[in-house]
Each structure stands twice: as structure tokens, then as C-alpha cells.
Structure 1
Amino acid sequence: MALTRMLTRRPGETIRQRRWKMRPRVPSVPISIALVVGTALLLAVTAGFVLFAGYRAARLNTGELAREGAESMIRSMVERTRAHLDPVQAQLDFLSQQIVRQRLDLTQAERLGDLLLASLAAVPQESVVAFATPDLQVLRAFRNRPSTPLAVNDWRDDPGFEKAMQRAAQASGAFWGELYVAQGRGMPFINLFVPVHREGKFAGALIAGVTTAALSDFLATLGSEDLANPFILYGPDSVLAHPRLREGFPGLSDKHPLPSLRELGDPVLEKIWTPDPEMRLQQAGTFTNAAVSARLVDIGGESFLFILQELPGYGERPWTIGTYMPLEQAVPQLDRLTHLLWVGGIVLVVGMVLALLLGRSLSHPIRELADEANRLRELNFDAPPPRLRGPFRELNEAARAFDAMVGGLRLFSTYVPHTLVRRLMRHGSPKAIVSEEREVTVMFTDIAGFTTLSEQLPAAEVAAFLNGHFTLVGGCVEATEGTVDKYIGDAVMAFWGAPGHQPDHAARACQAALGIAQAVHADNQARARDDLPPVRVRIGIHSGRALVGDIGAPSRVNYTVVGDVVNVAERLEELARSAARTIEGEDVSVLLGARTAAALGQEFPLIPLGDFELRGRREPLTIFQLQVG
């Protein structure tokens, strides 16, 4: 019976449409009639109680907005603080691994200094990074000292540093040490220690210094005299970050690295730990986040509301992140509406119930449709379609149209690159894609020996193999916001720098190549367990000017790249089979043109291979190999 229904379905009719025809129709009414009737009932029920309803709404809404705003600000401060400091630890951990892996001679200050200077480029919040030996010889690399970027010092006469190094020798991982102050700047620094162990012995410690000025700059962007006054405390009495500390603070030293609450000159913050009055603290409300707390402080007859959250893990003393504001600004309606009108309570409850039922019946499906539309805007077709079937006719029709649109876009997105689809959907016009000449980076990939491999397999297995390989390569391209242009046999052509503007298109292409190398290596490990031969991939990457846009006949166009840069990238992929240096354990060889290599940073290690004559070109081209291991 089910097979008969499937075979008798009309052309163009979806399975979902068939399901709609099989289901009994639910009686529906226009939303306009429902709104008119519902509004009339609500007005009739609540007309005599406007003042009372206004008070309730003002109290609940104002208190909720105050709590949500305070929690949002505290959450943003915590996230930004972690985002400012956690990359420092990640970078030092990486440096420690590099020192151990490369077996660097720690007595060679020049090579170690170059490594420290290079690390400063990856983490801009670091002002200084150093390596200290067990005998307290310290090599430091500075960000803002171009004339003397490196310095070697003997700190054996510093008892505080000796104590910190003893702790590092016994520590199993990174830890944040005591604060210190830069001489002549009055700027406090937070320092992170990462011990380095080689062959089970303590070889020294990597140290990073991070200024607190960036935290104070961030707080200054959040706060204002009218709304909020953010801060970060180090322990109960020292101020780590505050808008007033963006330029440092006079009189600070290693023994006194931070100003106290009294020294800062903020009269409200100075009184933060005075006992809470028993007055309107309960009116300030409770918070949904258990880590967030509230305090009320009276200063000169005015009440201030403090919102606080403790942030552990960044030193021996806990950090307290918080903000404060006048209570009247946080909950201004509470002091104005003091007289309660309880007459007609039962009628008001009836009106609220009616409003709640009507609001839910209307807002829930519309909100669900909006959420699904937002997912669809990002080409997320994995979520189930919205279930908007109900008593309202317009919503039912919208659900049918939405289902049809999702089906069409799902098919459309399989034939067109997602980046192009998103750009068209964002601008809503084909004019958003204009043919123009611009700087791009083009990649060609190819499977070495694919012809021999395909001759040994049935056609179905070859297709399955290619689909899996293209999924692997395409995922790495899309992860770096590149565009897969076309598939040519077992080859993939992709490009960066269009349709959106990508100044770092060369770096994105090389990052995608590294991702392909990792994915192919992991796939070959799985193939080895199944006694299958490994897959060897060759990649050519080149950058240059090209024409980018719609190319083709009026009835069938293709968004692609045309120019010499495409030919060179393809020739580099061909040359990778013979010119690339074979490195044991590498399944992928990547060759770059000189223009691509010149646009890369130090994070991409390159091997110069010399000048080569490419097929179809008169002038030789300088070629580099990207290390993927």
C-alpha cells in the first residue's frame, strides 16, 4: 500500500505534502480575528486596573532587566579576562613543548632568544617573555624595545624570584606568580611560570609578563558615569584593573604592586566591604548564576548596588570581578510606586491568564519559525523543520512554504559553494557577485597514483572513495572560509580572497593545506588498520591577480577564477610529484609560489627549492615547500 502511494505521487509533490493531504485538516482562524477578540477581552477585564497592572509590570520588568544587564556585564568581563590571559598559558605550553621536542641547547642564547621573540607575535598581550635557568640566569625578550629586544640578567640576588623558581622546579604545570611593577612605568604586570622538564629533570622555566593596562582599557569601554563602574580586585583590598589605571599608578613597586581601595580615589568602591544594610537588598533580586552575588552599600544617604563574581586560578589571591551603580538607576520604579492597589485581584488574575494563553499560542510558533530561519540563513539543514501546525491559518501556510523553501535551498546548496550562497542570501541580489580582478590564492590538489588505484577497484568503490576524499578536502577548505571551485577527476580546485574580502588569503590557503595534511594522515592510519594502501596527496598553491566572478553563457554561469594564477597553481601541483623533498611519515607534499611564500608569516615553515621552469611559462619560478610535519 505504501509503495502504491509512492508510485502514484504526482511530479513535484514532496513527501511532506503527501503527509499534509493524509492528515485531517485542523480548523483555523485568521490571526487578525484572534487578536481582535483577545485584545477586547483583555481590555474589558483589565480596564479598571491599569495602575495596578502598570506597577506590577514596571517592578518585574525593571528588576529583571537590571539583573540581566548586570549578569551580562559580569559574564562579559569574566570571558574577556579569561580570553586575555588564557592564550598566554597556551603559548608558553607550546614553547615548552618546542624546547623539549627540538632539544634546543639552552646555553645558546641567540637561538633561544629568536624563539622567544617569535612567540611575542602570536600573543599581543604579552609584553615580555623570558627563560630562566635553574641557576637564575634569565634571558628576556621585549615587545616594545626595538633597539635592545633581548637581555640576559643574573637574578641570583633576588630572593623573591629565587622562591618562584623553587616553586617552578616542584610544580607539575603552569602557575601564576606574584605581581611585579615595570621600572619607570608604574605599570603592574602579571607573570606566568611554565616549568620546562627534559629527561625527567628541571631545565628551567618560561615566564611571561602581561600588563594589567589592557584589562583597565577594556573596563573603560564597558563603564560610564551614568550606568556602571566596572573593576577587578586582587584579594579583598587591592585594585588590579579599573578605568583609572589605564596609564599606570604612581608610587607602585614590587613590594606594593597595586593601589589599595583607599589609594585609588574611588569613594564608592572604597566602601565595598562595609556591612550590607538590611534595607532593600532583597528588592535587588536574586541572580540566576549562583556565582554572582549582590551587595548594597549606603554612602552619604545614597544606596549603591554592587554585582560581584569571584574568578580563581590566576594567582595566589582570588580575583573579584564586579561593577556598581546607584540603586535608583538599577531599579528606579521601586521607590516611585509605593502604594498597592489590590482591589479586583481575582479579575486581574483572569486577565493575566487570558493574556498568557494568547501570548503563548502566538509567540511560540512565531519564535520557532524565526529560530529556524536563523539556522537556515547559516545553511544549517540538520535541524528538524518547525512544527507550526495549529489553529492559525497563516502560520500553517507559512509552515508549508518554509518546508518547500528548505527543500529547494538544500538542493541548491549542494551544487553551489556555501560561501557564495551565503553572500547571495545576505545581499538578496545577484548583483552582489560582480566579476572583477583581485588578488587571490588558488589551490590544486591531486591524488598521486589515482589512475592505477581506480583501475583496481569497481566503479562504485571508486566513487565512494572520491566522495570521502572530497569531503575531507572540502571540509578543510570551508574551515578556512575558502571556496571549492570544481572537482576535476580526483583533483580539487579551490581559492581564497573571493567572493568576500580576505587580506590573509595566502595564510588561509596554507592553513587549509596543513589541515588536509593532518586529515590525510589520520585517514591513512585508519586505512593501514584495514590493510589498505596509503593515499598520497600533492598540493600546489599560488597567489596573484585573477578575474573572479560569473563566467559562462547567460543560461548557465559558474562563479570561478580565471587567470595565470590558476595555471601556475596547477603546474605546481604537477611539479610536487617530483620536485618536493620527501620527508618520512608525510603523506602530503605542498609547493608554493614565491608570491604566496612572501605573504606568509613565520608560523608557516618553508623549505626553498630553487627556481624551476614550469610547463607553458617562459620565465622560471622560485618555489618553496611548506613543511606539514
Structure 2
Amino acid sequence: MTMAAHAPLGRSRSIPIATLFSLILALMVLLTVGSMLAAAVVVGQRNLFRQLGSRFDLTIRVAADRVGDHLKPAQHELRSLAALLARQPELLSDPKRLADVLGAAMSASPQIVATALVRPDQSSMRLERGNERAFIDDLRDRTDLAAALKRAESHGPNGNPLGWSDPLFGDIIRLPVIAYLEPVWSNGSFRGVLVAVVSIIELSHFMSELSTDLGETLYILWGTTHVLAHPRLPGLKLDLSSSRPLPTTAEIGDDALARMVGEFRREVGFQAYLKHARGHVFESGGVRQVHVFAELRDYGRQPWLLGFHAPIRDADEVSRWQRMVAVGLAFLALSIVLALIIGRGLARPIRRLAAAANEVKRLDFASVQPLERSRIREMDDAALSFNTMTRGLRLFETYVPRRLVSRLMEQDGNGGDLTRERDLTVMFTDLVGFSTLAERTSARETAELLNQHFELVVGCIRATDGTVDKYLGDGVMAFWGAPRRQEDHAQRACRAAIAMAAAIKDDNLARARRGASPLRVRISLHSGPVIVGNIGASARINYTIVGDTVNVAARILEIGREQRPEHALILVSGETLAAAGAGFTGEFLGHRAVKGRRSEVDIHRLVMEAGRVPEPGISIPPAGSSKARPARSDA
């Protein structure tokens, strides 16, 4: 009889609980810290690229406009002169008067160094700046002029087929120049071409001034290898000729510019934020450089490249972010190692820890319950550490509103720009006579009083989904309509103000029963466009609002300082009352002049209930009058 074969009994393949707990904790650290680190890097780099792109794009756009403004006078003068010659063709046969009008066109535009009229037979009259004499030239050997004359005549009197010439070397003035050409027609006959000559040396002087104004070394390239204008060009001694009218990038004395030529395919990371330009990164002398440029297509057959290059100092923020990633990964690795070490003694309920960590991830610090103590020292230490961290996060939440942070995270996570212009409603509040009240109470009593008052005020703001901007001594500044868009922001603000007035009145009744003095509050509301977003220095940035609407709301509050309400006084502008719509009415108090604003502001006292205002009997006269005027027709 044979015995059936059985698999040998032994220890099943399993993982020790300490190792399992260590791996789970390490994974949690990796996911939590890694995701936060990745989010911080992505958002920070995106904001950095946006800032760099906007700044560089603005520099190029302004520079392009300034170059156009510098060269347009040559075009305008020649067009005006061509129109004059068309109206008075007799000037063409009067050398003295023709010289006078050519000189006048040149004197009106200092960037023009010479003007000329080239006739169809290629004879010309030329005037140079600084020389009163008119020169008569025979240019029949100039094939380029012959081609230009033929093209202008064949095109007819409608339009200008010539425009700006390619760069050329002036054999007479011995300077590299560009020229603007304008055909002259009179009584249907072609009479020649007007020429305005602009020195490239003068254009380089202008680029030097422009570079000083904009804080970047700006230049213009002809193609990718020749320099049309550069701040260094006037000080160089170059062997130029008609066959070589422009210096190369290697001759200009700008090593970075010479090195840049072969690097045009390395695009900058913030290219998406350059709306009017392109950017490339290259290295020169071991230093990373950025080249930002735009094509100027209005100055001849070949586009000019207007640009600048600079060491990537500001853009080195990218490198700092990369270093931050490396440091973060090092700390992450260290955290994982520590988790593996301390995890060998863990015996914590993983499910409860995961749930608590998930609540922290949702910023729901108030829902995080303290972890129970353990008889195992390592587990007990972990519980104490987690509980301490939770208390710290709750303290953090005291100073940073969770609701605002969540909304900003949602908005930025959707690719929104946190800084923008938007129509909002702004509120200011203040306590009447608080300074006198504070003098009669201790510091602790004053703080308790303010905290209790702010609980009432902020509770009404939060109940209507408003955002507290800041505390201003004994007052609050708040707004509705951001970061989450609210089309009914004015209605929400009015409801909040009415709720505040009611809450303050109830609180004053309770204070009266305790024998305490009542608190009187002034509230102002104004609606309009503001700049809302991240504003401040790099060390401290606030999500706040700025603009004329904020100033007007503050000024309305100052108007209310003339009154002493029994409980609460709510002053709103005509804009807010109109935006609030049906259900809200106000007592018109007059038109008031507001400091810093030309037009007057309609002031209303908001009605708390139908047909009743909070504090009857209070009137606010307009500036320069003893009583309120009737409402304007445009109110």
C-alpha cells in the first residue's frame, strides 16, 4: 500500500506586518509629498513662465512700436512731398524751389540724413544734412535704381511698390544706410522717385537710447548673420562697402550675439506666453542666454529681426525650481527611509490613519479626530506626532482661510489666471467710536470685544459666500464675485450687510441687558471693476483686490463717518443698488463728490425691510450743499 503524496507543511509565504506597515506609510509619504511637490513645481513654473513671457513680450512689443515711430516720419514726409509735387508740378522744373522742399522734408525729420529726387532718366537732385548745397547726380550706372524706376512706373499711380530698400552702402556719404522710396506722379505722368536716406549709424544710436529705456540690449538683424542696428555699431571701425554694406554678428563685438546664430532651434520654455515674439535659449561662454525676437515685416522684402539677448538671471528661477525638486526628492527619499525604519514597530490602524490623511488632503482639518494612544512606544510616538501636526494645521487654518485656499486651488487647477479684472462688490465696515471705547477697556477686553464683533460680521459674509480680504483695525474689508464668479455679487453683498445690521442690533440688545454700551457700525458697499488676484512682493503675496472701485467704497465709508447711527448704517452706491435689482431699495441721500474721482457718486441708505430704513432721520448732504438734492436722471 502506498501513501498518498502530500505537499510538505511549512510556513506560508507572507510579509511581516512591520514591513507591510512600513511600505504603506512610505507609499503614503510618496503620494502625499510627491503630489504636493509636483503640484508646487508645476504651478510655480507655470506662474514663472507667465511672468517672464509677459515681461519679454511687452519689451519686444514696445520696442517694435518705438522703431516704427522712429522710421514712420521718413515715410510721412516723402508721401506729403509726393502729394505736393503732384499738385504743383511746376516745382519739378524749378531747381531752387525743388531744393527747398527737399530740404524742408529732411529738416522735419532728424533721422533722415539725405533726400533726393531721381527722375526717370536717372538724373537726380540730392540734399545732405549739414550741407545747404544741392547736388545734381548722374545715376545711369545704378541698375538697382533703373529697376526701381521701371517697377514704380509700371505699377501706376495707385500705391507704392517700392517702400524701404535693402541695406546698402552710400558711396558718397561713406555710411551704411537704408532708404525709403516714394513714386511721384503728376497729371497721370510718372515724374520720378523721391528718396529719404536713413543712416544705420543713426538708427544704432536710437537703438542705444531704446535699450537704456527698456533695460535690455536691443538690436536689429538682417537675416540671421548680419547686423542692421546695434548699440555698439557706432563705435566700431568696419571695412564696409557696396558689396558688403553690413557687418556680421561676429564683427559687432557681441560674443553672445555671434554664438546665438546656430542656436535658433532651442525654444524657450515660456514660448506659449510670448504673443508677439519668439524666444530661444543658447549658451555663450558657459552662461545660459535667452534670445527674444520678433519679425518686422514693414521694412522691405526681407523681414528684420528685432530682439535682445540677456543672461538668464530671472529665468534662473527655473533652475532654482529644478534644484527645489532635487531637494524635495532628497527629503522625500529620507522620509521614505525613516518610514521604513520606524514602520517596523508600527501597529497603527492603517484605515484610520489613511482616513485622517485623506481629510488633511481635503484641508478638512476640523474633521480630523485625534489618534488614540498606544502601548507600543513607536506607535504612540506616531500618534502624538500626527496629533501635533493636526493641531499645527488647525492653527495654520486660523490664518489662511480654507475656503479661499480651496477655491484658488480649484481655479488654478483649471488653468485660470489668478490675476484678472472682474466686476465685484466691495464692502468696508468700521466701529463708531472704537478708539474711545478702547481707551476705557483693557487690551484683553478690547481683543475679546473685537473678536466677538468680527465673528458676527464675518459670519454674515461667509453665509453669503463672500471673501474676507483683510481686517482694518476695528473694521473689515470684504468682496463678492471672486475667486468664484458670482453674477449676483451685489445681491449677496446687500444681504450680508442687512444680516450684519440685524445681528448687531440683536447683539446691542443683549449688551444693554448686561449694562454694556452698544456697538455702532457703519457699512459701505460699491460695485464695479477691480483687479483681483495675487498681489504683493515675492516674500508675501496676498489674494486681494485693488482699483478705483475699492477706493470709492472706502470713501463712501468715510462719508458715513459724519453720522452716528443707533445700531448700523448701510451706505451703498447707485451702482450697487442698481446691480442688486428687485428686492432691495434705498433712500437716496444725494450726490457726493469722492476724493480722487471727477464724477460724483450717488449715495443711498439701504432699506432693511420693506418701507423702513435701519436708522431713520439720518441724512447725508452732498458736498457743497446743506441738504440732499433730488436724484439725477441717470442715477
* TM-score normalised to structure 2 length: 0.47
Mark the structure with the bigger radius of gyration.
2
